[in-house]
Amino acid sequence: MRTRFDGLAKDLWRDALGDLGRVTAEAEVAPAAQRADTTFEPDPLRRVALAGRGLLGRMAQDPVMLDAFHDAPDGEEVRDTHRKYLNWRHTLGEAHRADARHWLVVAGDPRSVRLEFGLRPLRGWPSGVYGSVPGFALQVVSVSALPATRDTLALRLFGRGRVLRSAGVELLALPEDAWERRLLPMLLRWRTQIPELPALRSPDEEDFVDNAQQILDEWERRATDRGLAPLMRQFERRLGRPVVEAEREVLRDRLGTLGPERLGDVVLDLSAADLSAWLGDPRAR
C-alpha cells in the first residue's frame, strides 16, 4: 500500500543526486501514460563524484528507476512498478538499455516479496541489499537491515523508529561541508507534510514526527550553540571558571529571548559575583 512517505522519498533522490545527473520525478512512460516514481540518469562526467555518495551513489552509477515503499509492497505492487520500469527501459538508447536497473527501497523487510521473486543477497553489497536473476534487473534495499555506516546514511533517513533516529544523530555529527548535510532541510520539508493534529496522523506518521522533531530540535540546539560559543568564552573569562551545564542552558535560552547584544552587555557590565548571580536568577533579564 502506498503512503505519504513514498511520495516524499522523491525529495531524497533529488537532494542527494540532483547535482550529478538528471532526476525526473513522476516520469511519464509509455504506454497509457504510466508514471514512474523517479528515474535517474547519471552525468557521465560526474561518475567519480557519484561514487562518493555512498550506497545511493553506487545504486545510481547506471540509469535507474527508483521506487520507495514505507510499507512493504506485495507481489502485485512490485509487478506493477516493474512493468513501468520495463516500459521506461524501452525508451532508453541502445547503449544504456542493458545497464538500466530497477531499485525498490523499502523501510522494513519485504520478506514475502523476497520469497516470491527469489531475491537473494547481492554479493559484494552490504547486508539488506537483494537482487533477482540478472535478466530481471530488480534490486531491493531493506532499509532496516542496512549496516549503520556512513555509506548507508542517506538511505536510512527513509527508515522508521530507531533507524531514522540513529541516522539523524549521525547526520548531525558530520562536518558542516559533508554532502549529506544538505538532507537536513529535507527532513523539515517532510515534517511539514504531516498533519498537525495527532488524530489525523497514521501510526507511521506519528513515529516520523516524534523522531524527526528530535533530530530537528538537536539541529537547532547545535546551531544556537555555534552562535553562543564566542559569548561563552567571554562569560568564562569574566567568571574565571568554566560555565557549568545548567548555566549553559540558561545562556542558550536567554540568547533566544534576550538576544546577543543583551548578553554582551551583561558580561561586560557585571562583576564576576554579579554575573554568577545573574545566571542563577530565573527572573534576571
CA 276 – CA 273 distance, rounded (Å) = 5
pLDDT of 285 over the 70 cut:
yes
Q: Name the band, by pLDDT with cuts 50, 70 and 90, for residue 34.
A: very low
239 and 110 housed in the same domain:
no
pLDDT of 254 over the 90 cut:
no
pLDDT of 195 over the 50 cut:
yes
pLDDT above 90 as % of the chain: 37
45 and 154 housed in the same domain:
yes
207 and 150 housed in the same domain:
no
pTM above 0.75, yes or no: no
Q: Name the band, by pLDDT with cuts 50, 70 and 90, for residue 172.
A: confident
15 and 138 housed in the same domain:
yes
Report yes or no on 179 lying in a domain.
no
76 and 209 housed in the same domain:
no
For 155-170, write each residue's pLDDT tens digit.
Answer: 999 998 889 889 988 9
pLDDT of 120 over the 80 cut:
yes
Query: Which of 133, 158, 183 finishes a domain?
Result: 158
112 and 233 housed in the same domain:
no
Average pLDDT value over all residues in the chain: 85
Domain count, the chain: 2
Report yes or no on 128 lying in a domain.
yes
CA 157 – CA 16 distance, rounded (Å) = 12
Please give the pLDDT value at position 106: 95
Q: Quick one: average pLDDT of 22-41?
A: 64
Backbone phi, psi, residue 132, to 5°: -90, -175
Between 172 and 153, the more confident residue is 153
Cβ-count burial of 204 within 10 angstroms (0-12 exposed, 13-18 middle, 19+ buried)?
middle
CATH number of the domain encompassing residue 118: 3.40.1350
Report yes or no on 166 lying in a domain.
no
Report yes or no on 176 lying in a domain.
no
10 and 148 housed in the same domain:
yes
Please give the pLDDT value at position 6: 66
For 230-247, write each residue's pLDDT tens digit.
Answer: 777 888 888 888 888 888
Report yes or no on 180 lying in a domain.
no
Report yes or no on 139 lying in a domain.
yes
202 and 283 housed in the same domain:
yes
Q: Look up the domain containing 222 and give its range.
A: 194-285
Query: Which of 107, 132, 158 finishes a domain?
Result: 158
Report yes or no on 164 lying in a domain.
no
Give the closest residue to 171 by CA, choosing from 162, 184, 160. 184
191 residue type, one letter: R
CA 67 – CA 2 distance, rounded (Å) = 11
pLDDT of 96 over the 90 cut:
no
Tell me how crowded residue 265 is: count the other CB atoms within 10 A of its CB. 11
154 and 210 housed in the same domain:
no
Q: Quick one: average pLDDT of 252-259?
A: 80
84 and 154 housed in the same domain:
yes
Query: Which of 111, 136, 158 finishes a domain?
Result: 158
Report yes or no on 236 lying in a domain.
yes
CA 199 – CA 34 distance, rounded (Å) = 34
Between 4 and 282, the more confident residue is 282
153 residue type, one letter: L
216 and 282 housed in the same domain:
yes
153 and 27 housed in the same domain:
yes
pLDDT of 93 over the 70 cut:
yes
- Is omega for the bond preceding 31 within 30 degrees of 0, making it cis? yes
